[in-house]
Amino acid sequence: MAKQKKFNILEHELVPRHEVVPPEEAIQLLREMNIRPEQLPWLRVTDPVAREIGAKPGDIVRIYRKSPTAGEIIVYRYVVGY
Protein backbone atom coordinates (compact mmCIF):
# COMPACT_ATOMS: atom_id res chain seq x y z
CA MET A 1 0.00 0.00 0.00
CA ALA A 2 1.36 3.44 -0.93
CA LYS A 3 2.16 5.86 1.85
CA GLN A 4 -0.08 8.93 1.82
CA LYS A 5 1.74 12.26 1.51
CA LYS A 6 1.45 14.31 4.71
CA PHE A 7 -0.13 17.76 4.42
CA ASN A 8 1.94 20.51 6.07
CA ILE A 9 -0.57 22.73 7.84
CA LEU A 10 2.06 25.45 8.43
CA GLU A 11 2.25 26.11 4.70
CA HIS A 12 -1.48 26.79 4.31
CA GLU A 13 -2.28 30.39 3.35
CA LEU A 14 -4.89 30.78 6.10
CA VAL A 15 -2.62 29.59 8.94
CA PRO A 16 -0.59 32.45 10.46
CA ARG A 17 2.99 31.95 11.62
CA HIS A 18 3.21 30.32 15.07
CA GLU A 19 6.27 29.92 17.29
CA VAL A 20 6.93 28.72 20.83
CA VAL A 21 8.21 31.57 23.01
CA PRO A 22 11.48 30.67 24.81
CA PRO A 23 10.95 30.28 28.60
CA GLU A 24 13.09 33.31 29.58
CA GLU A 25 11.24 35.52 27.12
CA ALA A 26 7.88 34.14 28.30
CA ILE A 27 8.67 35.09 31.90
CA GLN A 28 9.59 38.63 30.84
CA LEU A 29 6.48 38.90 28.67
CA LEU A 30 4.19 37.84 31.53
CA ARG A 31 5.87 40.36 33.86
CA GLU A 32 5.36 43.17 31.34
CA MET A 33 1.70 42.24 30.91
CA ASN A 34 1.31 41.69 34.66
CA ILE A 35 -0.62 38.44 34.14
CA ARG A 36 -0.36 34.73 34.86
CA PRO A 37 -0.04 32.36 31.88
CA GLU A 38 -3.53 30.92 32.50
CA GLN A 39 -4.98 34.38 31.86
CA LEU A 40 -3.92 34.23 28.21
CA PRO A 41 -6.31 32.68 25.69
CA TRP A 42 -5.74 28.93 25.54
CA LEU A 43 -4.43 26.73 22.75
CA ARG A 44 -4.99 23.01 23.18
CA VAL A 45 -1.96 20.76 22.87
CA THR A 46 -4.05 18.68 20.44
CA ASP A 47 -4.45 21.62 18.03
CA PRO A 48 -2.87 20.63 14.68
CA VAL A 49 -0.54 23.66 14.61
CA ALA A 50 0.49 23.16 18.25
CA ARG A 51 1.39 19.55 17.46
CA GLU A 52 3.29 20.57 14.32
CA ILE A 53 5.46 23.15 16.12
CA GLY A 54 6.05 20.84 19.10
CA ALA A 55 4.25 22.96 21.72
CA LYS A 56 3.83 21.33 25.12
CA PRO A 57 1.41 22.13 27.96
CA GLY A 58 2.68 25.20 29.79
CA ASP A 59 4.30 26.75 26.70
CA ILE A 60 3.34 30.15 25.36
CA VAL A 61 2.88 30.42 21.60
CA ARG A 62 3.37 33.66 19.66
CA ILE A 63 1.12 34.06 16.61
CA TYR A 64 1.75 36.64 13.89
CA ARG A 65 -1.55 37.58 12.25
CA LYS A 66 -2.15 39.80 9.24
CA SER A 67 -4.53 42.67 9.89
CA PRO A 68 -6.10 44.88 7.23
CA THR A 69 -5.89 47.91 9.54
CA ALA A 70 -2.75 47.29 11.61
CA GLY A 71 -0.65 45.39 9.05
CA GLU A 72 0.50 42.65 11.41
CA ILE A 73 -0.41 41.93 15.01
CA ILE A 74 1.13 39.57 17.52
CA VAL A 75 -1.08 37.54 19.83
CA TYR A 76 -0.15 35.00 22.49
CA ARG A 77 -1.77 31.72 23.55
CA TYR A 78 -1.12 29.48 26.55
CA VAL A 79 -0.87 25.80 25.67
CA VAL A 80 -3.09 23.54 27.80
CA GLY A 81 -3.13 19.77 27.91
CA TYR A 82 -6.87 19.15 27.64
**Residue at 73 is within a domain:** yes
Residue 68 domain flag: yes
- SS3 assignment, position 29: helix
What digits encode the pLDDT tens for the residues 8-57? 888 888 899 999 999 999 999 999 999 999 999 999 999 999 999 999 99
CATH code: domain of residue 46: 3.90.940.20
Strand order of the β-sheet with 60-67 is 17-20, 60-67, 71-80, 42-44
**Residue at 5 is within a domain:** no
What total of structural domains would you count in the chain?
1
Distance CA 60, CA 22 (A): 8
Tell me 21's DSSP state.
Answer: P
Q: Residue 8 falls within a domain, yes or no?
A: no
Domain for residue 66, yes or no? yes
Predicted local distance difference test score (pLDDT) of residue 6: 78
Q: Which domain holds residue 44?
A: 14-80
Answer yes or no: is 31 within a domain: yes
pLDDT of 5 > 70? The answer is: no
What pLDDT, on a 0 to 100 scale, did the predictor assign at position 1? 56
Note the pLDDT tens digit of each residue in 52-79: 999 999 999 999 999 889 899 999 999 9
